[in-house]
Amino acid sequence: MKQPASTDELPVAGNETAVQAGAGGLGAKADAPPLPQQQDPEPPPPPPPPTFPATMESSGSGPKVRTRGWLPDDAREAKDGKDAADGGPRRPVIPCADCSMTFTNMVQLKRHKQSGACTESNMVAATPSSIMLPPFVYNFEADGVTAPIDTLALATLAVDGIHHSAGGLGSLGVFFLKLSGAGNNGVIVLKQGARQSAGEFFCSLLYRGVGVPTPTMRVLSNQQLKVVAGSVGACPCTSPGAADKLQYHTGNGAVLMEYSPGCTLKHPSVPPALGDAVSAGPILRGFGSVIAVDVMINNFDRAPFVWSHEGNANNIIIRIDGAESRVVAIDQYSTAITNPDGLEAYLTKVRESTAEALAGNTSGEYITRYGRMHLHVCLWESACVGGSQTA
């Protein structure tokens, strides 16, 4: 066997045809090309340095960098220097809507409004809560009379006492104000503004236009409401502390309404009046007129006529006065039905209830549903018998 003449003919390590030296290089091919050397992969680039919020510090081998407002100290100092050159650091500016003062946060603005420091407005200094005053004793239902509101001077408004009637879910209720003066039993009603106030005002005019009595209403701006709030803030209330519920800082204004003497359907004097041949006629005709307009504008917050609920007996006022008895509608609002299936279902109920009324069916589904609203069935049936001749 021929031995290699020199080390140049020895097999190269890494050649696939080479054998280990201990095997004597058997089977090696001197003319085989060498395989390429495998390269180590390049290391990935280092990750970018983390960004820390204003309350954290970076960590690592390098120096710690404190940041404020997502800016390093050198950038923040340059910005603060520019602010100083412009007249000082830029801070939030929240103006008061009633005077020329400005504040850097809402807490300062709220304290300013509560302190009575708005010298350029009609705001008054904060008064002690009405809860510290003795209760106001007055029978609004029996002694209260309607007072004109169109000519009422708000700047000189004087009030003896207040009664707050709580509203339903999402409502702030209404305030009954007993006007001052010897022998003056005039009462006006104040209702704080809300999103639906414009719609209520329009519907009130609509009802009156078709012959349904509604209280006269007068719109108050937010500034006028502040004047009224300043006059009644320290007045005694039938329920101490009720005046504190008067919110004049919401910016929604309010409406003044004429007081409508009378009672609701829940009053015990209503069933006998519905059974009386003299008073039942005008009361039942008033019910019918209110229902007709309610159905026309889809005002569901009153009677369970074509609507599936228990009704709201507080939104109809009955004045019992024999042949001069009448029904007054309050708090009406129109609701649109945008769903086609829901609209068709509603119109079906309207057609069925109209046919029931034209047929004089006093025991039909819809009139019976209305008659059960807060009244005993037998009392309602006796009233229907007494009033059916004029229906």
Q: How far is CA 102 from CA 109, 111, 113, 114, 318, in A?
A: 8, 12, 12, 15, 51
- What distance in Å separates the CA atoms of residue 225 and residue 237, rounded to the nearest whole number? 18
Mean of all residue pLDDT scores within the chain: 74
b/e per residue, 177-212, with b = 16+ CB within 10 A? bbbeeeeebbbbbbbbbbeebeebeebbebbeeeeb
Max Cα-Cα span within the chain: 145
Asked if 221 and 117 touch (Cβ cutoff 8 Å), the reply is no
Q: List the helix and strand counts (H, then E) for the chain.
A: 10, 12
Burial of 354 per CB tally in 10 Å (0-12, 13-18, 19+)? middle
Asked if 306 and 353 touch (Cβ cutoff 8 Å), the reply is yes
Q: What is the mean pLDDT of residues 352-372?
A: 83
Q: What contacts 109, CB < 8 A, 6 or more positions away?
A: 94, 96, 103
Portion of the chain with pLDDT greater than 70, in percent: 65
The per-residue DSSP string of 189-218 comes to EEEE--TTHHHHHHHHHHHHHTT-----EE
SS3 call for 256: strand
The pLDDT assigned to 136 comes to 86
Residue 307 predicted with pLDDT over 80 = yes
The pLDDT assigned to 364 comes to 82
Which of 32-36, 91-95, 297-301, 357-361 is predicted most confidently? 297-301
Please indicate whether residue 133 or residue 386 has the higher confidence score (pLDDT). 133
Residue 305 predicted with pLDDT over 50 = yes
Pairing of strands 159-165, 145-146: unpaired
The pLDDT assigned to 183 comes to 63
- What distance in Å separates the CA atoms of residue 177 and residue 225, rounded to the nearest whole number? 14
Residue 352 predicted with pLDDT over 80 = yes
Residue 22 predicted with pLDDT over 50 = no
Q: What contacts 276, CB < 8 A, 6 or more positions away?
A: 386
Give the least confident one: 32-36, 122-126, 153-157, 342-346.
122-126
Portion of the chain with pLDDT greater than 90, in percent: 21
